[in-house]
Amino acid sequence: MSLLVQFNEVTKKYNDQTVIDKFSYRLKNGEVIALLGPSGCGKTTILNLTAGLTNHTAGEIQRNTDDIGYVFQEPRLIPWKTVLDNVVFAVKSGSKQDKLEKAHHLLAKVGLEKSMKCYPKQLSGGMRQRVSIARALVSNPKIILMDEPFSALDVSLKRELQEDVISIIEEKNIGIVYVTHDPEEAVRMADRIIMLEDKLCKVKREISLERVRKKRDHHYIQKMKCELSECIIGGQSRYVETV
Ligand SMILES: Nc1ncnc2c1ncn2[C@@H]1O[C@H](COP(=O)(O)OP(=O)(O)OP(=O)(O)O)[C@@H](O)[C@H]1O
């Protein structure tokens, strides 16, 4: 597996306020990392630093690709373009026909084949989020950053889309950094979960999960989910490596 991103003791300040203090992590291709932590602890800031959307104040960020897709917390669609055109717009290369085919394929994958001609304002929050996911995936990025991508979806659609995203990840071998507040979602989606303290993005606990077992083993998922929930509630600080 090759290295996509590495943070070495990265610090981020907004004005004089430190929001991230000496945070380190690395992402390889084919790996899904979930960032789990309380509101305001700095998860989105880590994504923005990873994407290069904001500058760090100290430490070192090594980014081996600029080919990055981002699913923002609030979908940022172009209001005057249709759903289809919003996705086509993100395809970087190929003929017009190729671009259309790729966009159709992804929109069908996220269950929006009937809404391709709609404009963003005609969609529900969950539908807009699905367009955003299709748009991030369509350009075949090497890294995808997802900021609570399923928070606006109902439970069954959430589960369906999680499965779709997992199959796309496995097919394309991309690296994903994924922000969520939901322990079960973190367990289902991630190979590695980084749990953060409520301030400064200090790592509270890091867990590696067994991807193969997760596929079939419902008890394993529930066990890991309970462990995570306990850690969130108990506020214990310990490191467990389960692989
Ligand atoms: N552009 C900015 N200017 C000043 N402060 C900011 C800016 N962006 C974020 N912050 C501050 O940085 C801290 C971390 O914010 P961030 O959005 O990264 O947290 P988060 O963990 O993603 O929160 P949530 O789970 O609620 O989305 C917060 O205190 C926030 O107010």
Q: For the segment 141-159, what is each residue's pLDDT rounded down to a tens digit?
A: 899 999 988 877 778 778 8
DSSP 93-130: SS-HHHHHHHHHHHHHHTT-GGGTT--GGGS-HHHHHH
Residues 241/207, Cβ–Cβ less than 8 Å? yes
Q: Is the CB of 14 under 6 A from ligand 1?
A: yes
Inside any domain, residue 88? yes
Query: Does ligand 1 have an atom closer than 6 angstroms to the CB of 41?
Result: yes
Dist CA 82 CA 71 (whole Å): 18
Whether residue 243 is contained in a domain is answered as: no
The mean pLDDT value for 207-225 works out to: 72
CB 241 within 8 A of CB 214: no
Q: Is 45 in the pocket of ligand 1 (CB under 6 A)?
A: yes
Distance 223 CA to ligand 1 centre (A): 31
Q: How far is CA 139 from CA 59, 87, 98, 134, 143, in A?
A: 30, 9, 12, 9, 11
Domain assignment present for residue 183? The answer is no
For residue 97, give its domain range: 75-140
Higher pLDDT, 218 or 206: 206
Residue 159, domain member (yes or no)? no
User: Which residue owns the Cα nearest ligand 1 atom 6?
Assistant: 14
Q: How many domains does the chain have?
A: 1
pTM value? 0.86
Other beta carbons within 10 angstroms of residue 115's beta carbon come to: 18
- How do residues 67-113 score in pLDDT, each as one tens digit? 899 998 888 899 999 999 999 998 888 888 999 999 998 898 888 98
Task: Tell me what ipTM this predicted complex has.
Answer: 0.96
- C-alpha 44 to ligand 1 mean position (Å): 7
Binning pLDDT at 50, 70 and 90, where does residue 48 land? Answer: very high
